[in-house]
Structure 1
Amino acid sequence: MKSNFLLKLLECKYLMNSFLINLGKSNIRKYRSKYLFLVFLTCFIELSLTTTSNSQMTENVPRDLLWNKVQKCITNQREIHKPDPCVYVDINNKYVVANGSKPVDYLLVPTDKISGIEAPQISQSNSRNYWQYAWKKATDKDYIRSKAPQVKYPEQIGLAINSKQARHQDQLHIHMSCIKKVVSEELEKGEKTREITDRFQSQKYVNLEGNNYSIRLLKNDSLSDYNNPFLLVKEFVGQTKMEEQSIAVVGRKQGGFYILNTQSDTQSGYKAVAEKLLDEDCSTQK
């Protein structure tokens, strides 16, 4: 978000300087202040739009912004056969893919109204396979790999959903991006030392980016049915605590996945944000 804002700011500075130079050479100097005002106004609007388009993670945005965007995408797909402003709409499987707020950040969003991770209908063995859909899109060449060609392997990719306490949109969405290299390295190390096994372990955590995660290993390539990460975490913590959870899914070098879970703590003020494990400009994946 910061990099996009600074880039736009530099563009505006260049534009204003160009106008000053050209106006200085022209015979319309008396209109200089008027033109400068118009340039300034244009830049201000563009900077505001840049900030707004990246503000899904800020608190001053309407909490139904993402839901309204999904409705527009569906309408455009049906009426003009274009998913705008999304990048993909799947009417049959009831989800869309939209650009997120970071350079290499995509969102998978259901077309059904689902508030978030705490919704009971998403954590059943027969629930719609949102994680599987997200993984398929995340590993498709037209998405992350189109922006970051250095991403070639599953262990470079991560998915994440934030807790109710941390999110700023009340529509379920799964982030799809690169995973920080240090995170994937820690996961491999944890598996080798058997800190990470094929089940979540109470009171046994792996510290990643300053927060504790319970981690479960999946050795098969399915995130559906009984491997649905929502279901796996619900079985571990219970439905009543689901709103406090944040989940990440990371590809495993040997095939399969790591399922990561962190929990909000109201006493310490920690709001669980597994998204922070993602590398949303893919800069660490070189």
Structure 2
Amino acid sequence: MNDNETANGVPRRRFVALSGALGAGALLAGSAGGASAASGPVPAGPASCPCPCPTDPNPPGGGRSPCPPAHLQALCGSPADNDSLWHDVRYCTQGIAPPPPQQKPDCLKVTSNYVVLHGKPVSPHNFLLLPSCRITGIECPFIVTNEAANYWDAAWENARSGGSVPVQFPNIGLGVNSKGARQLNQLHIHMAGVRASTQRRLQELEATGRVAIQPSQWGDPQYQAAVTGTLGSGDRTYRVLRLNSLDQNLFALLNRYVVVRFGLDMADQTVVVVPKTTPAGGFAGSFYVLNSDASLHDGTSTCDHLLVYT
């Protein structure tokens, strides 16, 4: 699914100030709910809830509350917004049918923190993971806080072999587009494939010391490299980091070690996660985390150059 967006941007300084100012006292009360698979919509919570109401004190991915506080609706979206992906989420979590002519989605998995849907075009390796409450996209300052759910880890746990919605492709890729490169305005992580050549290129970069192994190194010139993606897309330059797990908030790492460090705008960033594989094709126990934007020579603001959807 390609992405292009129309909502207003958030200046970087305002984004950083807001995200730094958000504390536990300013966030929604209550803890996030636990994961439970479902194939259709779940009952709606009380009318006073701006998003599905939590019931379980142990949410997936370590997040404590999946919803931005009400005062961030101008930056992160309002539950009353008219966005087709948001309508899909509301149907899956609250049973509210989308307005015609939009059709009801297939709710592949529903939890109190997120839902998983088919991507478009529909294929066995094109899925989307979306927050269960209103978050427009990567520009929302709430997602860099400790209160946000860990959507990246949840995406991997669903997409991996043996996961609830496994991506049926030899190499898996997860990705988020920038604000300006998306079409729909509900945060969504693409769960798709990547070409074998992309996997080989990343392992070659690691073997030659071209991959950062500490988040604080993310963006250093020696860890910026060209990676060829899908056929015909050419090389794009990415900042490449390796992590042993996805237990950290990747949005927070990006904001701290790339966006703030280089004076960039969070809204302009794209992120792609490629799990490292063994020669036999299994998971090698670490992840390549790629970031790019238009400030890089031959940079890109979309994950679509690397991900394979069809």
TM-score (norm 2): 0.60
**How does 1:71-220 map onto structure 2 within 5 Å?**
71-76=90-95, 84-91=105-112, 94-102=113-121, 103=123, 104-141=125-162, 142-145=164-167, 148=168, 151=170, 156-198=171-213, 199-204=217-222, 205-209=224-228, 210-218=235-243, 220=244
Structure 1 Cα separation of the partners of residues 138 and 190 of structure 2 = 13
Please list every run of 5 or more consecutive structure 2 residues that lacks an aligned counterpart in the other structure: 7-80, 97-103, 229-234, 278-283
Deviation at 1:255, TM superposition (A): 1.0
Deviation at 1:266, TM superposition (A): 11
**How does 1:46-85 map onto structure 2 within 5 Å?**
57=3, 64-76=83-95, 84-85=105-106
Please list every run of 5 or more consecutive structure 1 residues that lacks an aligned counterpart in the other structure: 1-53, 78-82, 282-286
Deviation at 1:197, TM superposition (A): 2.2
Partner amino acid, structure 2, of 1:276: H
Check if 1:229 corresponds to 2:253: no
Deviation at 1:112, TM superposition (A): 1.3
Deviation at 1:137, TM superposition (A): 0.5
Aligned residues of 1:166 and 1:271 also touching (Cα < 8 A) = no
Partner amino acid, structure 2, of 1:228: N
Structure 2 Cα separation of the partners of residues 130 and 144 of structure 1 = 16
Q: Percent identity?
A: 30
Aligned residues of 1:98 and 1:106 also touching (Cα < 8 A) = yes
For 1:99-136, what per-residue CA distance to the aligned partner results, in whole angstroms no more than 9, with x for missing partners? 00132210000011111111111113442111011010
Structure 2 Cα separation of the partners of residues 58 and 172 of structure 1 = 12
Aligned residues of 2:142 and 2:148 also touching (Cα < 8 A) = yes
Structure 1 Cα separation of the partners of residues 259 and 82 of structure 2 = 26
Out of 246, 250, 260, the position equivalent to 2:290 is 260
Structure 2 Cα separation of the partners of residues 248 and 86 of structure 1 = 24
Provide the alpha-carbon RMSD of the alignment: 2.9
Structure 2 Cα separation of the partners of residues 172 and 138 of structure 1 = 17
Deviation at 1:277, TM superposition (A): 0.6
Deviation at 1:57, TM superposition (A): 4.3
Greater Cα shift, 123-132 or 192-201: 123-132
